[in-house]
Amino acid sequence: MTDLASVKTALRQQWIETPSWAYGNSGTRFKVFPQPGVARDPFEKIEDAAQVHKFTGVAPSVAVHIPWDKVDDYAQLAKHAVDHGIQIGAINPNTFQEPEYKLGSVCNPDPKIRRKATDHLIECIDVAYATGSGILSLWFADGTNYPGQDSIRARQDRLAEALQETYDRLGDGVKMLLEYKFFEPAFYTMDVPDWGTSLTHCLALGDKAQVLVDTGHHAPGTNIEFLVALLVRAKKLGGFHFNSRFYADDDLMVGAADPYQLFRIMHEIVAADVLRPDSGVAFMLDQCHNIEPKVQAEIRSVLNVQEATAKALLVDQAALRAAQESGDVLGANAVIVDAFNTDVRPLLAEVREDMGLDPDPIGAYQRSGYYAKVSETRVGGQAAGWGA
């Protein structure tokens, strides 16, 4: 039997970070459909993120992307977050949107462009210290489109060099996460295509470098919970970018495509006892909301992670172990399936009431009138986002 009090405590303490870019306009390469009330600057994005925390109680930080969220005074941005009841989370350098980066950033054959990219990574360490963030979260769009375009090995050497220089500048308060993605925007080789490549670099760098698992960045059929278990065992799981993909890197709401996969991932997390915020694993959303309202979609996503987590916490670990040890294949599987099939919504409603929250976060958000209010007040200026 699972101890319900400790399940509730774990759910109350859960920490899910939302991304600032979820609150801007986004779309596909075909069209960005602008929405009313969209944040126009990093301060308004923080206000949106604060709404997600206000109604869920478990989203107390917001990741930023530089230069999308570039401001003159980062201490002021951090204070704005605190004034709204949250804090700045991971700092994500952006080395994929400037003309120089056509052939890559830290892996570019031109040393001047590599210098510019590495300088930006180092500048983002300063942003981390100025905002009180403990995470520099790296994703590189680098790669090649055609066989022979560049030397695969030379690009790895350049990557290792840039990572080492950045790592050496981290100081004691910031750690480095290295994310991978198996294709796009490069289609022949990505320079960090998979967790093995990321792990290889992180092992060479040292304890402050860990792997970031973006659930949307794998080939179809990849067993994500397996690699999560492996990374936890190696003490190299730094965090997640949660989202769902139906085909490729869709960045849709986590739990939308395959809630059973999300549950299986959370089961590995719970079984390894790395759910607690002080375990060092960061649970972050990395999503874009192209056609659905953004703040509400982030709330829904947080609830989806909570539901998967609650189910994982309800797995009867003693029964599972007993079944495993006695070779009871179907009995062990039934323990997992039973937990997944539990309706945890009443339990989560109780947890929210214990936290002084409305048991129905989406209903409460809708009744608050926030969306109507910002749709009226956020007029003029340029909405944040990708060209809308």
Positions that interact with ligand RM4 (CB under 6 A): 21, 65, 92, 139, 179, 181, 214, 241, 249, 286
Shortest distance, CB of residue 214 to ligand RM4, whole angstroms?
5
Shortest distance, CB of residue 312 to ligand RM4, whole angstroms?
24
Task: Give the 3-state secondary structure of residue 223.
Answer: coil
| Residues 279 and 237 sit within 8 Å (Cβ to Cβ) | no
Which residue number has the CB closest to ligand RM4?
A: 139
Residue in 254, 246, 263 with CA at minimum distance from that of residue 288: 254
Name the residues that contact Mn ion, by CB under 5 A: 214, 216, 241, 249, 286
Nearer to ligand RM4, 118 or 243 (CB): 243
Q: Which does 236 bind (CB under 5 to 8 A by kind): ligand RM4, Mn ion, none?
A: none
Q: Which does 218 bind (CB under 5 to 8 A by kind): Mn ion, ligand RM4, none?
A: none
CA pair distance 39, 155, nearest whole angstrom: 38
Nearer to ligand RM4, 47 or 214 (CB): 214
Which residues 6+ apart lie within 8 Å of 96 measured at CB?
Answer: 105, 140, 141, 185
Q: Which does 175 bind (CB under 5 to 8 A by kind): ligand RM4, Mn ion, none?
A: none
Nearer to ligand RM4, 189 or 332 (CB): 189
Which residues 6+ apart lie within 8 Å of 231 measured at CB?
Answer: 195, 199, 211, 213, 237
Q: Which does 92 bind (CB under 5 to 8 A by kind): Mn ion, ligand RM4, none?
A: ligand RM4
| Residues 143 and 162 sit within 8 Å (Cβ to Cβ) | no
- Under DSSP, the state recorded for 186 is -
Residue in 231, 175, 171 with CA at minimum distance from that of residue 207: 175
Shortest distance, CB of residue 75 to Mn ion, whole angstroms?
27
Shortest distance, CB of residue 65 to ligand RM4, whole angstroms?
6
Shortest distance, CB of residue 177 to ligand RM4, whole angstroms?
10
Shortest distance, CB of residue 148 to ligand RM4, whole angstroms?
26
CA pair distance 226, 298, nearest whole angstrom: 27
CA pair distance 295, 362, nearest whole angstrom: 10
Nearer to ligand RM4, 154 or 187 (CB): 187
Nearer to ligand RM4, 92 or 348 (CB): 92
- Under DSSP, the state recorded for 330 is H
| Residues 22 and 383 sit within 8 Å (Cβ to Cβ) | no
